[in-house]
Amino acid sequence: MKENEIELKIQALVDGELTESEAEQMRECMDNDVRLQILYAQLIQTKDLISKYEMPRVLPESGDFYWAKIAQEIRTGEPTNQGSNNSLVIKWLFHRLAPLLGIATIVLLITLQQPSVPDLAIELESDHELELLSDEIDVMTFNSVDDSMSIVWLEYSMDIQRDYMELWLD
C-alpha cells in the first residue's frame, strides 16, 4: 500500500468510514509505525478541535420553510412554462398570419384610396321611381343630356301597325 493511500485510510479511520476489518488492519499497521501513530493522533486532535470550536451556523428559517419555498418555486415555474407555450403559439400564429394580414392591409388601403362612386359627372334625380310589373320585360332608363327628358326603354314590341293604317288613311 502506498504511503498516500495509508494516510487516506487513517483519515477515513478517524472519520469512522472504514469497515471493522479495514479498521483492524489499519490499527495493526499503526502499531508497527510511529509516524502513522503521530499522524493518527494529530488527526484525532484536529477533529476534536473542529467539533468543539466550530462556529455554529444557524439557518435564518427552518428546513420546512425552505422546502415550502422550493415547492412554491416549482408551482410558480409551471405557469411560466404555460406562458412560454402561449408565446410559442402566438409566434406560430404570427408567422402564419403575418403574410395574410399584410395582404389584407394592402387590399384595404387600395380600397380606401379608390373613390366609392366613380365621378362621371352624371346627376340622377333621386325622385324617380320605376316599378316593373312584368318579369319578362327588360327595361333601361336614362335621361337626356340636358336632363329635360327621362326615358324608359322597354324591350317590349308593341304592334302599332293598325294605328299606322289609320294614320295613313286619315
CA distance linking residue 164 with residue 162, whole number of Å: 5
**Which DSSP symbol is given to 139?**
E
C-beta of 146: minimal distance to another protein in Å? 8
C-beta of 147: minimal distance to another protein in Å? 8
> Cell 316593373 belongs to which residue?
132
Nearer to another protein by C-beta: 55 or 130? 130
CA distance linking residue 128 with residue 134, whole number of Å: 19
> What separation, in Å, do the N-terminal and C-terminal C-alpha atoms of the chain show?
153
- Interface residues toward another protein, by CB under 8 A: 125, 127-134, 137, 139, 144-145, 147-164, 167-168, 170
Nearer to another protein by C-beta: 93 or 154? 154
C-beta of 157: minimal distance to another protein in Å? 5
Q: Which of 119, 157, 124 is nearest to 138 (CA)?
A: 157
Contact predicate 57/24, CB 8 Å: no
C-beta of 149: minimal distance to another protein in Å? 5
Nearer to another protein by C-beta: 1 or 139? 139
Nearer to another protein by C-beta: 31 or 163? 163
